[in-house]
Amino acid sequence: MVFVVKNSGERQQFDQKKVEYALIRSGANPKLAREVAWEVESQIFDGISTSKVYQLAFKILSKHDNSSATRFGLKLAIMRLGPTGFPFEKYMSRVLDAYGYNTMINQNLMGTCVEHEVDIVAQKDEQKYMVECKYHNQLGIFTGLKEALYTQARFEDLADGGHSFTHPWIICNTKITSTAIQYGTCKNMKMTAWGYPEKENLQDLIEAKRLYPMTILRTVTDEVKNKLARHDLLLTQDLLKLEPAKLSKLSGISEKRMAPILDELHQITNNITSEK
């Protein structure tokens, strides 16, 4: 029996099915996902970290299906958004825009007691949300009750100050604790996290409309990604909308060297996978 160690230090029995399911979600066909999961199981050892398991699966999958491997790296790609260049709230604003919300980011609003910087103001139909974005750049860090209490307190101060928000909304790029969910449900708080809720969780919102962050690209250096981000090109879709000559100019990459980048962009954005 092999145990893996989570970032929290908790030991958990390795579950091959979890790896297989994650691979299928990334677009790998079930047969390949099962084979990769088996290979992962054959190479791991007792006490290996979950992040190492993840990296091993990514490495093995990339040998067989580059497109699926890239999408399998979605969670890490979001963690690479970082505080500068690719701010999480700016990316999430683009995601919400794609679902019909009108959004504004980094709004300074006065409550009854103090001023608050609201990450995203999102409005759709009669609903107006005060969105609090919780970003973590490491696996295994949960958004918990403290963040939920903090978000609710800000929402109430702004509501008391005359702002017409109908609900608070926490969006985080990692998992959310059961206690935070219990509190949020009680307070009618909207919560979107990695794997929560069962439907329309963070990865669902991204994958349904293929709103992959540009940081998911494996054929582009961080230096080039930063150049493109300065032009508000945050999604792979943004890059595909550009003529190759324009993309070449903005990225500093010659048109002759654009072929592998364009190929990866098409594979990811158009969700091309191996034959099932």
Q: For residue 84, what pLDDT band results from cuts at 50, 70 and 90?
A: low
Indicate if the pLDDT at residue 239 is higher than 50: yes
Cα distance between residue 193 and residue 205, in whole Å: 10
* Per-residue confidence (pLDDT) for residue 28, from 0 to 100: 83
Higher pLDDT, 221 or 267: 221
Cα distance between residue 147 and residue 194, in whole Å: 16
Cα distance between residue 250 and residue 191, in whole Å: 36
Round the average pLDDT of the chain to a whole number and report it.
89
How do strand 3-5 and strand 11-13 relate by DSSP bridges? antiparallel
Residue 212 Cα distances to 12, 128, 204, 208, 216, angstroms: 30, 25, 11, 10, 7
Cα distance between residue 136 and residue 159, in whole Å: 28
Name the CATH architecture for the domain at 212-269. Answer: Orthogonal Bundle (1.10)
Cα distance between residue 162 and residue 222, in whole Å: 43
Strands in 3-5's sheet, in edge-to-edge order, are 11-13, 3-5, 48-49
Q: What is the pLDDT of residues 5-61, one digit of tens each?
A: 876 688 999 999 989 988 887 778 899 999 999 999 999 999 998 878 988 998 898
Helix, strand, coil percentages (3-state) for the chain, rounded to 5, are: 50, 20, 35
What predicted TM-score, i.e. pTM, was given to this entire model?
Answer: 0.81
Q: For residue 275, what pLDDT band results from cuts at 50, 70 and 90?
A: very low
* Per-residue confidence (pLDDT) for residue 21, from 0 to 100: 85
Residues β-bridged to residue 170: 132, 191
* Per-residue confidence (pLDDT) for residue 273, from 0 to 100: 39
* Per-residue confidence (pLDDT) for residue 230, from 0 to 100: 87
Question: What is residue 176's DSSP assignment?
Answer: B
Cα distance between residue 206 and residue 229, in whole Å: 19
Given a contact cutoff of 8 angstroms between Cβ atoms, the answer to whether 19 and 26 are in contact is no
- 88-208 placed in CATH 3.40.1350.10: yes
